[in-house]
């Protein structure tokens, strides 16, 4: 079905974040609106298919209120801006997260494909409604998934028009997609997405579009679809149920092994620098097993702290990025003279399902953190905030923590002796050998307790091998 705009507009402008409910999902509240462009060729109407490109898995929907410009707007103040809006309608700001990496920021290929901006089916005249009284709802296969109103937007509609018109001439027919509320997620082939905007008794009708699989392969002379667990989590939103960060069987086995044994096995494999030195648990008898999510601090520079230390900085982003089973590992250059995490962020990490926190810097609120349901290993307690020594800089890259190189995805195990880092590809064989080592050590301990001398017994020598094998067969 043709879209209801008539002639093709000169541009389609989309707002990144505007509904408070969506901002809370994303874990950040922008101080100013930000935008991206969608090609007019992405416009579609009710009933048109949403074609998911071959090789993609993350076709997303975002129900939105679309503004259609009625009068040219250039240098328009907010008080007059609504007069330049001609109509409102429903829109679906669709996209594929599989290609977001290729045009990060512009969203050209991920959001701009043909048919990725359905609008309609009907327009409501702007002069007949209160812009604060609109309601947008979305359904997937008849089930409600989004429902919000325009009365508490971060950036009211008139402010968007005025802001854009400072530098960009908005022409009649141009479309502004004003942001999506909480609940945007992934739709699969066969799913039907419906969006409706209402203004009191007036309605746009339901904009309905069904996701279909492309019938031709995506040529490989450009960027190809690429996803990982972080991309999936971003696309699905709160509905995402990630795979365990570590195989459950291996995780259980690692929980039964000491860091001393694991360190010994790493040394046998030529890995001499796999312990995170100088850290100890905030609580008492704790065991930690998980995969690394990294955060790097740089030394304090006062002129850079405002830009990098305020708002949703790298420290807070790192916490909000945590997935169940991950360990937040921080590089603080072994400087313990300021805190690198405190009770509130440690609690948030626990609520995010973190398997633990490791910092070679200082820990604030150490007594409270010790009582939280998440293991925290640190270099020392300190009352000062991080701004005394550190600038939170970036996340998700290799770091140094306590003298050990830690990469995202490395396996970390911690106990009363400290924390060791295990390369993921070694875990299976290392666990098998570590289990055998600890069995031998239990046998040796029993013999020493019974009065046997250690010569030829520790380490286990040929004279004791047969007795050990019998002991093992007996299930010891």
Query: Concatenated DSSP letters for 130-160?
Result: -TTSEEEEEEETTEEEEEEEGGG-SS-HHHH
Residue 275 CA to its chain's centroid (Å): 27
* Contact assessment for residue 254 and residue 432, using Cβ atoms and an 8 Å cutoff: no
Q: Which of 239, 263, 297 is the last residue of a domain?
A: 239
Higher per-residue confidence, 321 vs 137: 137
Q: Could you tell me where the beta strands, DSSP code E, fall in 314-375?
A: 326-331, 339-341, 356-359, 362-363
5 domain-assigned: no
The reported pLDDT for the residue numbered 1 is: 54
Percentage of the chain beyond pLDDT 90 is 71
Q: Which domain does 80 fall in, by range?
A: 12-239
pLDDT at 245 over 70: no
The β-bridge partners of 144 are 139
Residue 233 lies in a domain: yes
Tokens of 428: 């299976």
Residues 337 and 403 in one domain: yes
Q: Which of 179, 209, 239 is the last residue of a domain?
A: 239
pLDDT reported for residue 243: 65
Q: Is residue 1 part of a domain?
A: no
- Please say whether the beta carbons of 205 and 197 come within 8 A: no
Residues 6+ apart with CB under 8 A from 111: 14, 36, 38, 42, 93, 94, 95
Q: Quote the pTM value.
A: 0.62
User: Helix axis angle, 462-473 relative to 427-449, nearest 10°?
Assistant: 100
Nearest to 339 by CA among 311, 377, 314, 365: 365
One domain, residues 48 and 172: yes
Which of 318, 331, 315, 330 is closest to 387 using CA atoms?
A: 315
Instruction: Answer yes or no: do 417 and 433 share one domain.
Output: no
Tokens at residue 81, please? Answer: 């801006």
6 falls within a domain: no
Contact 392, 309 (CB under 8 A): yes
Residues 313 and 252 both lie in one domain: yes
CB 365 within 8 A of CB 342: yes
| Residue tagged 């046997």 (tokens) | 452
Per-residue pLDDT at 309 = 86
Q: What CATH number is attached to the domain comprising 267?
A: 3.50.30.40
Residue 342 is labelled as binding a ligand? yes
Do 167 and 283 sit in the same domain of this protein?
A: no
Total number of domains in the chain: 3
What local confidence, expressed as pLDDT, does residue 221 receive? 87
pLDDT of 242 strictly over 80: no
Minimal CA–CA distance to 110: which of 45, 160, 175, 39? 39
Residues 65 and 178 in one domain: yes
Q: State whether 228 and 255 are in the same domain.
A: no
Measure the CA–CA gap between 152 and 21, rounded to whole angstroms.
10
Among 422, 442, 460, the domain-final residue is 422
Distance linking the first and last C-alpha atoms of the chain = 73
Same domain, yes or no, for 265 and 224? Answer: no
Write down the pLDDT at residue 5: 77
The verdict on whether residue 345 carries a ligand-binding annotation is yes
Indicate if 303 and 403 belong to the same structural domain: yes
On whether both 418 and 440 belong to a single domain, the answer is no
Q: Given a cut of 80, is residue 4 above it in pLDDT? A: no
Residue 364 is assigned to a ligand binding site? yes
396-437 per-position pLDDT tens digit: 889 999 999 999 989 999 999 999 999 998 998 999 998 889
Residues 346 and 461 in one domain: no
Q: Are residues 407 and 260 in the same domain?
A: yes
Nearest to 170 by CA among 75, 296, 239: 75
What is the DSSP secondary-structure string of 97-118? GGGGGGGTTT-HHHH-STT-EE
């Amino acid at each position: 079905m043709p879209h209801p705009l008539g002639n093709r507009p000169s541009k389609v402008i989309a707002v990144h974040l505007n509904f408070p409910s969506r901002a809370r999902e994303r874990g950040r509240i922008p101080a100013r609106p930000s935008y991206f462009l969608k090609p007019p060729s992405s416009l579609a109407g009710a009933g048109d298919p949403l074609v998911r490109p071959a090789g993609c898995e993350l076709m997303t929907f975002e129900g939105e209120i679309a503004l259609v410009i009625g009068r040219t707007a250039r240098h328009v103040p907010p008080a007059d801006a609504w007069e330049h809006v001609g109509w409102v309608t429903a829109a679906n700001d669709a996209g594929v997260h599989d290609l977001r990496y290729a045009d990060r920021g512009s969203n050209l290929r991920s959001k701009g494909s043909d048919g990725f901006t359905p609008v309609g089916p009907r327009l409501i005249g702007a002069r007949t409604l209160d812009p604060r009284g609109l309601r947008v709802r979305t359904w997937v296969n008849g089930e409600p998934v989004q429902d919000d109103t325009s009365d508490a937007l971060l950036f009211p509609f008139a402010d968007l028009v005025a802001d854009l018109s400072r530098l960009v001439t908005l022409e009649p027919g141009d479309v502004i997609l004003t942001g999506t509320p909480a609940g945007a997620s992934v739709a699969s082939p066969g799913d039907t997405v419906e969006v409706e905007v209402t203004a009191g008794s007036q309605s746009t009708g339901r904009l309905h579009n069904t996701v279909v699989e492309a019938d031709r392969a995506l040529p490989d002379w450009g960027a190809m679809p690429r996803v990982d667990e972080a991309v999936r989590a971003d696309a699905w939103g709160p509905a995402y149920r990630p795979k365990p960060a570590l195989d459950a069987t291996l995780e259980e086995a690692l929980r039964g092994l000491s860091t001393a044994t694991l360190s010994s096995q790493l040394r046998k494999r030529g890995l001499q620098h796999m312990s995170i030195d100088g850290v100890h648990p905030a609580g008492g008898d704790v065991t930690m097993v998980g995969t690394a999510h990294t955060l790097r601090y740089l030394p304090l520079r006062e002129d850079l702290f405002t830009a990098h230390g305020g708002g949703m900085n790298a420290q807070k982003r790192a916490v909000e990025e945590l997935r169940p089973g991950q360990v937040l590992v921080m590089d603080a250059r072994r400087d313990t003279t300021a805190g690198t995490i405190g009770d509130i962020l440690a609690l948030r990490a626990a609520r995010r399902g973190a398997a633990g926190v490791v910092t070679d810097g200082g820990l604030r609120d150490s007594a409270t953190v010790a009582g939280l349901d998440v293991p925290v290993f640190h270099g020392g307690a300190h009352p000062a905030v991080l701004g005394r020594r550190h600038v939170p800089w970036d996340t998700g890259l290799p770091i140094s923590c306590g003298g050990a190189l830690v990469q995202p995805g490395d396996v970390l195990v911690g106990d009363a002796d400290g924390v060791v880092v295990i390369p993921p590809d070694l875990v299976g064989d290392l666990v098998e050998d570590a289990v055998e080592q600890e069995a031998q050590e239990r046998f040796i301990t029993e013999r020493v307790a019974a009065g046997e001398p250690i010569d030829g017994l520790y380490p286990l020598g040929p004279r004791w091998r047969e007795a050990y094998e019998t002991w093992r067969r007996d299930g010891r």
